[in-house]
Copies of this chain bind each other. A is one copy, B any other.
Amino acid sequence: MTMHQSTALLTDMYELTMVESTLQSGAADRESVFEVFSRRLPAGRRYGVVAGTGRILEQLADFRFSDAELSYLREHRIVSESTIDWLADYRFTGDIYGYREGECFFPGSPILTVTGTFAEAVLLETLILSILNHDAAVAAAASRMTIAAHGRPCLEMGARRTHEQAAVAAARAAVVGGFAGTSVLEAGRMYGIRAIGTAAHSFTLVHDTEEDAFAAQIATMGTDTTLLVDTFDVRRGVERAVRAARDAGGELGAIRLDSGDLVAQAITVRRQLDELGATGTKITVTSDLDEYAIAALGAAPVDSYGVGTKLVTGSGFPTAELVYKLVAREDSRGHIREVAKKSASKGSVGGLKVAGRLRDEDGVAREELIISCASWEQGFEKLDEMGARPLQVPLVLAGEVQSHVTAQEAAAHHVQSRNELPYQAWRLSEGEAAIPSTMIDIFPGDQNPYDGT
């Protein structure tokens, strides 16, 4: 996983045919503003979580059309030779501003803004949306789960339930949402996330007896390991696990429960462990958890949660419904004009947007302020005037990545951003967005954006 690979063809074909057609029509060079936002949150969710920004910045460097990509385009006549020449030289030279990774967002929040020529900016649509839609879906689920866990560590174990590369990104997004570790090693290697894991049922079954299996695991991993006790009979498994650690001269680190009624089992097993004197031995549970199951285990004596399927599939919402829309572009006289699609269900609001979070005197967020304006400067001034916390930072300027973003930094920012939200944001039940989004328009002059008339 160490070598360069191009990300350029992780792209919908129509981005390239649009480049081709605009190169010929002349519109390719028009300065343009594309915006990533969601029209709505998934039903009942109180907030979204920006995630994937760091991955976009990494992959932007690999968005190059090398011989392999160009040959394919040529052989299949996807675009003409002149467009292939243009693609061979392609480097993004524009700007990208975005919400900080880990920031909470709401309907209409302009979480990423790409400015540049139409052709250079439209090309990035698919890659940017793929990354953000996937990672934000996982991070939002992770955030709800870590709320439900009330400080008990949550561990990501969903690799087997999702695409093998998506699994690595999901582990990263889980960390953004507050998870403490991952089962998948590549996420450990790439992102410095703590890797965790000890043994599966097959490990017990390949040995002649459960005692043999436990002794073998302790012999290599020490007594501070986690033994899986539900292969045959939980009560007997717990007895054997505690004894195996004592035989090796220590106290067992933890036992893992992976099936059955987890609340009842956790209570029973805790009592059994305490009766056996293994009061320091922890309990981790890993069976089909989601935020509701985690909340239900709140009163049970559980020390950590391993979450798989529901985490990597966004707990019911596997994609974040983010879109990438042209909101302003240069006209034939070189003036920037707002543009917007008119569809009733899929309309968009024109203009560059600068966003800030308005907070009350206690520092509690009360409104997402979204300002349609002519420039970053104008928008930031207005935010300052209104006392709103600015949400966007420059990520790429003139094609240069300004600073990379780690999952750990994003996780730290997410904690701050989430803590700032009003109480209702923390509720798992379905409801409205935690704060309303308010759009104001200070774009000078042209108040009626181009609508095709």
Binding site for B on A (CB under 8 A): 1-7, 9-18, 20-22, 24-25, 27, 30, 32, 34, 59, 66, 68-69, 72-73, 76, 78, 80, 118, 122, 125-127, 129-131, 133-134, 157, 159-170, 183-186, 188-189, 195-210, 212-213, 215-217, 219-221, 230-233, 258-260, 287, 309, 312-313, 318-319, 321, 324-326, 329, 331-332, 339-346, 450-453
Say yes or no: A326 contacts B162, CB within 8 Å. no
Supplied contacts A21-B217, A25-B215, A205-B341, 10 more A-B pairs, CB within 8 Å: A2-B5, A9-B184, A13-B188, A21-B220, A25-B207, A27-B216, A130-B163, A131-B163, A202-B326, A231-B452
Complex contact A452–B233 (CB within 8 A): yes
Shortest distance from the beta carbon of A338 to any chain B beta carbon, whole Å: 10
B452 touches A210 (CB 8 A): yes
Partner of A21, one of B7, B68, B221, B312: B221
Query: Which residues of B sit under 8 angstroms from A318, Cβ to Cβ?
Result: 162, 313, 318
Q: Are B160 and A205 in contact (CB under 8 A)?
A: no
Cross-chain contact A199 with B14 (CB below 8 angstroms): yes
Known interface pairs A161-B319, A203-B22; A13-B221 also in contact (CB < 8 Å): no
A72 to chain B, nearest CB (A): 4
Partner of A185, one of B72, B80, B185, B196: B72
The 7 lowest CB-CB distance pairs between A and B, nearest first, are A14-B197, A25-B216, A232-B452, A13-B197, A163-B166, A202-B326, A129-B160
Contact A14 B159 (CB under 8 A): no
Minimum Cβ distance to chain B for residue A226 (Å): 10
Question: When the two chains form their complex, are residues B319 and A185 in contact, meaning their CB atoms are under 8 A apart?
Answer: no
User: Which of B133, B195, B312 contacts A78, CB < 8 Å?
Assistant: B195
Is there an interface contact between A339 and B12, defined as CB atoms closer than 8 Å? Answer: no
Considering the chains assembled together, what is the distance between the CA atoms of A210 and B27 in angstroms? 13
Q: How close is A164's CB to chain B, nearest CB, in angstroms?
A: 4
Residues of B within 8 A of A213 (CB): 25
Q: Are B204 and A452 in contact (CB under 8 A)?
A: yes
Give bound CA distance, A12 to B286, whole Å: 14
Chain B residues whose C-beta falls within 8 Å of the C-beta of A215 in the assembled complex:
25
Q: Are B201 and A341 in contact (CB under 8 A)?
A: yes
Q: Within 8 Å CB of A189, what residues of B?
A: 9, 68-69, 72
A3, A162, A213, A287 — most chain B CB neighbours (10 Å)? A162
Q: How far is the CB of A231 from chain B (nearest CB, A)?
A: 6
- Contact B134–A14 (Cβ < 8 Å): no
CA distance A9 to B182 in the complex (A): 12
Residues of B within 8 A of A126 (CB): 159-160, 164, 167, 184
Residues of B within 8 A of A184 (CB): 9-13, 126
User: Closest CB-CB distance, A426 to chain B, in whole Å?
Assistant: 26
